[in-house]
Every structure is written in structure tokens, then in C-alpha cells.
């Protein structure tokens, strides 16, 4: 009976996290309000192990949405720079980055609950303490829960490319999004993006270059893949298939 109650509790917790990212928005006259979100919500089976990891370790590793800025110094217990990653997938590379860089704090946002559970499990396995996880729309987190000039950097690796031309407007990398990120960055804070879609890389370059507060660190548009960005399984497979990858690294003036 106790095991069944725990299973029910875990399912409810995971379902609640999922609902925070799929609530529809409507105008005052009842029409659906379309806006650019930081994600596409896809179905995926959350294993019992992942559910258990979320329930057991959320108090230590998870952060919930709030409409006031996070107190990062209280959350992490120090004033080290906070690096935000949007869309970390299953979280392996994010956890490895956090483990390799104890001089930084990492904050990951992902709406795919199996990925959240897997990331927490790996963080526990690696005994990582400088990482916190959020399961919510990143644009709302940036707007409401991140103070201006409070981030040391932003990482956006392999976001949904929306490869059809008619869907390009749904891509997260648009001028308003970049302007919002810049507002949240500290002076000399960075924006690091990577994609395996050349067309999206060109759009990223155009949008980032157009922001007057950003400087490109690459002498010729893109940088080689830096050693500090772990090679993901997805990216390694792309290399084997001959796919290109484009990294962009900009600094806030």
C-alpha cells in the first residue's frame, strides 16, 4: 500500500510540472493567444525511476516558477556567476559542465519531464551541488523570475529549428528574446548558442549581431566548438553523418 501511495504521489507531482508548461492562454474575448514559447511540448514516458528522482530530490535541485526574482545567492549559497541553459534535453552535458566548473552556478530549464528526471538523476549520481533545475517556459522565467543584470551567461544548444520557412517565426531566437536575455546579463556576460541547422545559424548570427549591446567574439562569424561544451550523443551522431555544427559566442558590452 505504501509503494502504491508513493507511485501515485510521484505521478501527481510529474503531472503538475507538465501542466505548468501546457496551459493555454486566451485573450479577453476568449480567443486563443499565440505567442513564441521556448519549447514544443512533446509526449514522452516518464519512468518510475525518473519520477522518484524528481520527487526525492526536487527540494534540493528543483526550483519552481515564481513571479518575483530568484535570490541566487541564497539559492546557491554563494555569489558565483549563474549560467542559464535553456532546453537541456536529458541533461547529461549540463551536469558534466556543472561538475567541471565548480566556480560557476548552473540553472537549467527544460519542459520535457523525462529529461528533467534524467538530469536530476545524473546530477545526484555525480554529486553536483552547483546546479538547479526548472520545469517551466523559459520566456516566463526570464520575464518574471530573473532579475536584470543577474546572469553570467546564457547557453542555448540545438533549439528546435522549425526548419520549414513558414514556421521560422516560431524559433526562439528572435530580436525580442535576445533583447530580454541581454537585459538579464551582467556586463561581460555571454550568450553561447549552437545549432546543426545552417539556416538557423545564419538567423542567430543576424539577430545577435543586430543587438547594439553585444559583441561577437569570433573573427569570422562562428567559433570552433569549444572544448568546454561537452559533445552530446546527438551531436556525435551528426558528426558521423557529416552534419555541420555552428557555435556562436557573443559578449555583452
234 annotated binding-site participant: yes
Cα distances (Å, whole numbers) of residue 220 to 105, 154, 204: 30, 21, 14
CATH number of the domain residue 50 falls in: 3.40.50.150
Query: For 146, left (φ over 0), alpha (ψ -120 to 50), or beta?
Result: beta
Domains identified in the chain, total number: 1
137 annotated binding-site participant: yes
* Catalytic choice (148, 160, 227, 247): 160
22 annotated binding-site participant: no
232 annotated binding-site participant: yes
Predicted local distance difference test score (pLDDT) of residue 4:
53
Q: Is 71 a catalytic residue?
A: no
Which residue's entry shows cell 538557423? 200
Which residue's entry shows cell 501515485? 8
221 annotated binding-site participant: no
Question: CB within 8 A of 29, min separation 6: which ones?
Answer: none
Query: Which structural domain, as residue segments, surrounds residue 144?
Result: 1-252
Q: How far apart are CA 59 and CA 122, in angstroms?
A: 16
Confirm if 13 and 50 have CB atoms less than 8 A apart: no
160 annotated binding-site participant: yes
**Residue-by-residue pLDDT tens, the chain, 253 positions:** 545 545 554 555 666 665 555 444 444 554 434 444 544 444 457 788 999 999 999 999 999 999 999 999 999 999 999 999 999 999 999 999 999 999 999 999 999 999 999 999 999 999 999 999 999 999 999 999 999 999 999 999 999 998 898 989 989 999 999 999 999 999 999 999 999 999 999 999 999 999 999 999 999 999 999 999 998 777 887 778 888 999 999 999 9
Q: How far apart are CA 79 and CA 18, in angstroms?
A: 31
71 annotated binding-site participant: no
Amino acid at each position: 500500500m505504501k509503494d502504491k501511495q508513493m507511485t501515485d504521489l510521484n505521478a501527481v507531482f510529474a503531472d503538475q510540472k507538465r501542466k505548468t508548461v501546457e496551459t493555454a492562454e486566451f485573450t479577453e474575448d476568449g480567443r486563443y493567444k499565440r505567442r513564441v514559447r521556448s519549447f514544443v511540448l512533446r509526449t514522452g514516458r516518464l519512468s518510475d525511476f525518473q519520477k522518484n528522482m524528481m520527487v526525492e530530490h526536487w527540494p534540493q535541485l528543483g526550483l519552481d516558477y515564481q513571479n518575483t526574482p530568484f535570490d541566487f545567492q541564497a539559492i546557491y549559497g554563494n555569489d558565483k556567476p549563474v549560467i542559464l541553459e535553456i532546453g537541456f534535453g536529458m541533461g547529461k552535458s549540463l551536469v558534466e559542465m556543472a561538475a567541471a566548473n565548480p566556480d560557476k552556478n548552473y540553472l537549467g530549464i527544460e519542459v520535457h519531464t523525462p529529461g528533467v528526471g534524467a538530469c536530476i538523476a545524473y546530477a545526484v549520481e555525480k554529486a553536483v551541488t552547483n546546479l538547479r533545475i526548472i520545469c517551466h517556459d523559459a520566456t516566463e522565467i526570464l520575464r518574471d523570475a530573473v532579475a536584470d543584470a543577474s546572469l553570467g551567461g546564457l547557453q542555448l544548444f540545438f533549439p528546435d529549428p522549425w526548419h520549414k520557412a513558414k514556421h521560422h517565426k516560431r524559433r526562439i531566437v528572435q530580436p525580442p528574446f535576445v533583447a530580454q536575455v541581454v537585459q538579464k546579463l551582467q556586463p561581460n556576460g555571454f550568450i553561447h548558442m549552437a545549432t546543426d541547422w545552417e539556416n538557423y545559424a545564419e538567423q542567430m548570427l543576424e539577430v545577435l549581431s543586430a543587438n547594439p549591446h553585444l559583441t561577437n567574439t569570433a573573427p569570422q562569424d562562428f567559433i570552433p566548438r569549444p572544448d568546454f561544451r561537452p559533445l552530446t550523443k546527438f551531436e556525435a551522431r551528426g558528426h558521423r553523418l557529416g552534419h555541420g555544427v555552428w557555435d556562436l559566442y557573443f559578449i555583452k558590452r
